[in-house]
Amino acid sequence: MTNRALRCPLFPTADGGNGKPWRLLSAVALFAVISAPPAGAGPLEIHVDPAGEAGAVRELRAAVDELRNLRREGSDESAAIVLHEGIHRIREPIRIGALLAGQGLEIRAAEGAEATISGGVEIAGFEVGQDGLWRTFLPEVAAGQWWFEELFVNGERRPLARHPNEGWLRVERAGPDKRTSFTCQPGALPPDLELPGLRVVFLHDWSSSVIDVAAVNQEKCELLMADPIGANAPHYRIDNFEPHPRFRLQGSRGLLDAEGEWHLDRRTGELRYHPRKGERPEAVMVEAPRASALIEVAGEADRPVCRVILRNLRLTCASWPIPERGYAEGQAAFHELRTEAGTNVLRRAVPAAVSFQWAEACRIEECRIQGLGTSGVWFGAGCRECELAGCAVRDIAANGLMIGEDRQRRVEAGPWWQAAPGQVAFGNVVRDCLIERCGRRFYGAVGVWVGLAERTSIIHNEIRELPYTGVSVGWMWNPTPTPCRENLVEYNNIHHVMQLLSDGGGIYTLGRQPGTVLRGNAIHDIVANVGRAPSNGVFMDEGTTEIVLEGNVIWNAARTPIRFHRTRENTVRSNIFVIAGDGAIAAYNAASPEHITYRRNLTPEAAGWAAEEAGDWIGHTGPRPPYRFHLGL
């Protein structure tokens, strides 16, 4: 096996390696400014205080520039940028390379302070019209210098003007090419739909599309798209999913008819907001994202960035507007690139607000990562022994967390996973985190995505309230060997996922993964699928081979606890399955039960319990979300 030795030593964990319980940060403010220690007394500290206290710079960008200048002058010592109470706004991401990181860089909140790094702009100057709507004008939008597709009021996401306000409309019949037009039931379309700006949000079984509308025929109740709905493969056509697929309209000013909705006119820069009951312009903070990302840590294959730590921060507001020719998702927020020359079948993920590439021994600790128009965090190419610990990741437009990469990066000799498998993301950890309400705009997104990666550990997390899958591991749709192996998904509480889409599960797997283990997880409350394909507790999809599923408890899954599709040899042992729906432990689609080794699995009935007593096997470890199970393995 490739030598995985790090080129920089790991930091010790603050608790000696035992992990900290998940908690929200304290809101107690501390306004003292601590002077940097004298040379030799400890790491260099640069303090940032928006209030301009003595000894501190006012802006995070200025602190980064100051540290960069020190590095260029030869300083390589460990450093800390300490953020004091308040919102630290940026318009461009903070980029950290090997030079800036030096022997180590920590960006943290001052003791007792609640410090926010925001890529958002506060919007003011609203006037209240006779119709009760708030209005303001944004010159940068009118000049084509800025565009946003999320709005937050007091930190809460507000929906873009849409129809219907709740639920979905239904396609009646796909048009001739099954891609660019469809009809709906008479009377379903509201009058006075304005173009441009009107979009269709379309649900496939396991993904979604967001496409501009080119024309509306009210008489026929027909919509004509500016670009094709769905990714390029034939199975993304309009009529390949539910008999009458779901869709929604959004973006037209005439749809602004419910409290909390908003509309932005790209031509005039006029922002309109329909306030919720009791809201007043002078008593709320309205924000829209401006920065494309918040923090980008990137080294090189032969010079990784080492020991960058983000601690006790709130990270919010980053923008990823839908591409000009629409969003056509394949799966897990990977969408196809479209140009005037046509569709590029290569897919790219919705980028993350906080990203690491070619990074080692980096950590994000006890941060709140929320309110993003992007994905949350990505430990990508070449990341080794990086960790997300004790964090809350919530209200994310796309994927909550991503680890590893897909198959498309190339080195000189060919695809990286064949030509340079030693570059695989290795030994990364996610522990003691709360991951919830991801996929807020891109519904095929997942809570935790692990692509081609080795020895990833997803342990002791609560993952909940997602439109699609909870944890996805693997990124090869056949049993071809890749560097994806020995990943661990252990002691997680995964529930209330698959809330909107189909063909996924609490845990979803792909490809050959020798040594990968899914152990001791609580997977429950998986609703009946609305789309054509089932949703399950665990879905082992195409190519899944050499995975062990052991010691899990799966209950309240409306379909079978497990489903296999085009899989090979896997082991299922010592699990507890509370059977509902189809009345079987597993379903097989183009897969054979003969390839699965079953050992010591129980159902409540087989153990002599009532179904509701299955929960007695679950014991809390303490106040934090994860659960442990005692099955005598």
Residues of the domain holding 173: 162-255
Of 255, 275, 310, at which residue does a domain stop? 255
The answer on 217 and 297 residing in a single domain is no
pLDDT at res. 12? 37
Cis peptide before 196 (omega within 30 of 0): yes
Structure-block tokens of residue 151:
């709005």
The answer on 282 and 233 residing in a single domain is no
The answer on 227 and 313 residing in a single domain is no
The answer on 380 and 320 residing in a single domain is yes
Residue 70 lies in a domain: no
Angle at the Cα of 363 (from 362 to 368), degrees rounded to 5?
Answer: 145
Predicted confidence band of residue 618 (pLDDT cuts 50, 70, 90): very low
Lookup result for tokens 């990302």: 293
Q: Among 396, 393, 399, 342, which Cα is nearest to 368's? A: 393
Asked if pLDDT for residue 397 goes beyond 50, the answer is yes
| Residue 126: how many other CB atoms lie within 10 Å | 19
Give the pLDDT mean for 235-248: 93
Cα distances (Å, whole numbers) of residue 400 to 173, 326, 391: 35, 22, 11
How many domains, the chain? 3
Asked if pLDDT for residue 623 goes beyond 70, the answer is no
Which of 5-14, 88-97, 117-126, 392-401 has the lowest average pLDDT?
A: 5-14
Asked if pLDDT for residue 250 goes beyond 80, the answer is yes
Asked if pLDDT for residue 26 goes beyond 50, the answer is no
Predicted confidence band of residue 39 (pLDDT cuts 50, 70, 90): very low
Asked if pLDDT for residue 28 goes beyond 90, the answer is no
Q: Which amino acid is at 490?
A: E
pLDDT at res. 606? 56
The answer on 273 and 386 residing in a single domain is no
Residue 229 lies in a domain: yes
Asked if pLDDT for residue 19 goes beyond 90, the answer is no
pTM: 0.90
The pLDDT tens digits of the residues spanning 498-557 come to 999 999 999 999 999 999 999 999 999 999 888 888 999 999 999 999 999 999 999 999
Asked if pLDDT for residue 582 goes beyond 70, the answer is no
Residue 27 lies in a domain: no
The pLDDT tens digits of the residues spanning 323-338 come to 999 999 999 999 998 8
Residue 111 lies in a domain: no
Domain containing residue 623: CATH number? 2.160.20
Residue 261 lies in a domain: yes
Residue 61 lies in a domain: no
Residue 529 lies in a domain: yes
The pLDDT tens digits of the residues spanning 461-494 come to 999 999 999 999 999 999 999 999 999 999 999 9
pLDDT > 90 in the chain, percent: 81
Higher pLDDT, 602 or 454: 454
Q: Which amino acid is at 629?
A: F
Domain containing residue 228: CATH number? 2.40.30
Asked if pLDDT for residue 633 goes beyond 50, the answer is no
The answer on 185 and 133 residing in a single domain is no
Spatial separation of the C-alpha atoms in residues 331 and 472, rounded to whole Å: 11
The pLDDT tens digits of the residues spanning 102-144 come to 999 999 999 999 999 999 999 999 999 999 999 999 999 999 9
Q: Which helix (H) or strand (E) holds 108?
A: strand 105-109
Residue 397 lies in a domain: yes
Mean pLDDT, the chain, rounded, equals 89
The answer on 541 and 505 residing in a single domain is yes
The answer on 587 and 523 residing in a single domain is yes
The answer on 199 and 149 residing in a single domain is no
The answer on 620 and 535 residing in a single domain is yes
The answer on 339 and 225 residing in a single domain is no
Higher pLDDT, 441 or 630: 441
Q: Which DSSP string do the residues of 379-411 spell out, in sequence order?
A: E-TT-BS-EEES-EEEEESS-SEEESB-S--EE
pLDDT at res. 338? 87
pLDDT > 70 in the chain, percent: 87
Contacts with 145 (C-beta within 8 Å, 6 or more apart), sequence order: none
The answer on 211 and 124 residing in a single domain is no
Spatial separation of the C-alpha atoms in residues 529 and 286, rounded to whole Å: 36
